């Protein structure tokens, strides 16, 4: 029997997939538990429409991510830090400070957990950080550490 999965089912498939299972498994477990519906012609048309809407949302999201990546790559982000007389920073620059600087200077809110510093920042100078947006979309941003 062919069914359309409504949500992810372990060892069977993910949501919005059409799979073939035994009649008893579908009628006695998957359909009553609201994990799946029968793959009738009307349900298949609804699935096509749902997949079309998901693709549109993904395309819109990808366009927005590309816009953010372009904005982050144009110019560096300046971060002020307290320093001693030798140019060493008191403490170090963290992803929280990078996220705050990006929000203030570029106008985009980026979660600090998506930012990865490529080097440990203990002195003034130029550094790089990587921002991962998920699904293979990532970019490097230039950081300029200056004395406050």
Q: How far apart are CA 61 and CA 55, in angstroms?
A: 10
According to the model, what pLDDT value does residue 92 have?
A: 83
User: What does the pLDDT read at residue 55?
Assistant: 94
Alpha helix stretches (DSSP H) within the chain:
23-25, 41-73, 95-106
Mean pLDDT of the chain: 91
Mean pLDDT of 1-20: 94
Mean pLDDT of 14-30: 94
DSSP states of 87-116 = SBBSS---HHHHHHHHHHHH-----GGGEE
State the pTM of this model.
0.68
Q: Report whether pLDDT(1) > 90.
A: yes
Q: For residue range 120-130, list pLDDT tens digits in order.
A: 888 888 999 99
Does 20 score more than 90 pLDDT? Answer: yes
Sequence-separated (6 or more) residues with CB below 8 Å from residue 25: none
Structure tokens at 142: 């230039």
Query: Hey, what domains does the chain have and what are their CATH numbers?
Result: 2-64 (3.40.5.10), 67-147 (3.10.430.100)
% of residues, the chain, pLDDT over 90: 63
């Amino acid at each position: 029997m062919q069914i359309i999965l409504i949500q992810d089912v372990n060892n069977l498939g993910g949501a919005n997939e059409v799979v073939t299972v035994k009649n008893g498994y579908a009628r006695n477990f998957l359909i009553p538990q609201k994990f799946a519906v029968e793959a009738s012609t009307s349900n298949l048309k609804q699935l096509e429409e749902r997949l079309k809407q998901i693709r549109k949302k993904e395309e819109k999201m990808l366009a927005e991510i590309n816009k953010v990546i372009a904005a982050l790559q144009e110019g560096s982000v300046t971060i002020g830090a307290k320093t001693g007389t030798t140019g060493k920073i008191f403490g170090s620059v963290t992803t929280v400070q990078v996220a705050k600087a990006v929000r203030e200077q570029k106008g985009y809110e980026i979660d600090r957990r998506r930012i990865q510093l490529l080097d440990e920042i203990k002195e003034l100078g130029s550094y790089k950080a990587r921002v991962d947006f998920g699904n293979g979309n990532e970019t490097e941003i230039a950081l300029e550490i200056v004395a406050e």
